[in-house]
């Protein structure tokens, strides 16, 4: 059994005040962008992992974006600790294995920094205490940007210019849970429930535009843990919703 774990802002302590924390990403819609971007080929992604029955996708997705940001900034690729997020961001509004919100991870990382997985291993459940130590911090960020809801061009621009972007998609439907290959689309995915990392985009000569997503359901899901989602198809499965990335 795999778990979703994305909780909307009013469920994570922001209570409708998301606008106050937004730093919406601005871009030039006329700027040239490459037709194909695939960050898997640039050495900025850590291996696909499995969140198990813990609703911690928000932590895996956000940290995936932060890992890539840290690699691009420092040249060091580090597996960051989802357990650090699960155990230590309750007062930021997250709910351990019962879900959370990605920008709250970036806010925590900005104020505290994140510990490496090797120092704070994942245990598939929330623990009642936080083991964060300042001396163990290996990565941080200065802030974050959010993509305006449904803005696929903005998401494309951010992925091309900055790197991987974490988004909230509809992930409860059976066809997505048992996805194996191809460009995924569905008429029954309308609610953001699961966080994944957008690591690229492209266009198939027959099947059209797609996003490349990195999931946190292990390598048996999809194509060795990755998948392809329809792009420019009415914000398929809300793929361009709740997007954010660290800066």
The DSSP code for 202 is E
* pLDDT tens digits, one per residue of 177-229: 999 999 999 998 988 999 999 999 999 999 999 999 999 999 999 999 999 99
Does residue 141 register a pLDDT over 60? yes
**Domain spans of the chain, in order of start:** 9-15+28-246
Tokens 């569905």, located at residue: 186
Mean pLDDT (the chain) is: 93
CB 115 within 8 A of CB 137: yes
User: What pTM was estimated for this model as a whole?
Assistant: 0.92
Per-residue pLDDT, 13: 41
Report, as residue numbers or ranges, the catalytic residues. Answer: 57, 194, 215
- Please, what is the end-to-end C-alpha distance for the chain in angstroms? 34
* pLDDT tens digits, one per residue of 83-136: 999 999 999 999 999 999 999 999 999 999 999 999 999 999 999 899 999 999
Q: pLDDT-derived band of residue 4, with 50, 70 and 90 as boundaries?
A: confident
Does residue 19 register a pLDDT over 70? no
Q: What angle, rounded to 10 degrees, do the helices at 102-111 and 57-74 form?
A: 50
Q: pLDDT-derived band of residue 10, with 50, 70 and 90 as boundaries?
A: low
CATH architecture of 9-15+28-246: Alpha-Beta Complex (3.90)
Higher pLDDT, 218 or 10: 218
Count how many residues are written for the chain: 247
Does residue 16 register a pLDDT over 70? no
Rg (C-alpha) for the chain, rounded Å, is 17
């Amino acid at each position: 059994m795999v778990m979703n774990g994305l909780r909307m802002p009013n469920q994570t302590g922001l209570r409708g005040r998301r606008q106050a924390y937004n730093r919406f990403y601005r871009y030039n819609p006329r700027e040239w962008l490459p037709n194909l971007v695939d960050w898997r080929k640039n050495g900025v992604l850590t291996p696909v992992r499995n969140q198990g029955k813990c609703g911690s996708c928000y932590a895996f997705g956000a940290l995936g974006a932060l890992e890539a940001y840290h690699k691009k900034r420092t040249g060091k690729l580090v597996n960051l600790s989802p357990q650090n997020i699960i155990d230590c961001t309750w007062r930021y509004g997250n709910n351990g294995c019962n879900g959370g919100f990605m920008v709250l991870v970036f806010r925590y990382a900005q104020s505290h920094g994140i510990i490496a997985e090797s120092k704070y291993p994942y245990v598939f459940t929330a623990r009642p205490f936080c083991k964060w130590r300042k001396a163990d911090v290996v990565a941080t960020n200065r802030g974050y940007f959010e993509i305006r809801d449904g803005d696929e061009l903005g998401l494309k621009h951010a992925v091309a210019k900055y790197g991987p972007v974490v988004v909230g998609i509809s992930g409860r439907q059976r066809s997505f849970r048992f996805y194996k290959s191809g460009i995924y689309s569905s008429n029954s995915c309308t609610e953001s429930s699961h966080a994944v990392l957008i690591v690229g985009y492209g266009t198939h000569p027959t099947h059209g535009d797609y996003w490349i997503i990195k999931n946190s359901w292990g390598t048996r899901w999809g194509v060795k843990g990755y998948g392809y989602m329809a792009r420019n198809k009415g914000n398929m499965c809300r793929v361009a919703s709740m997007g954010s990335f660290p800066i």
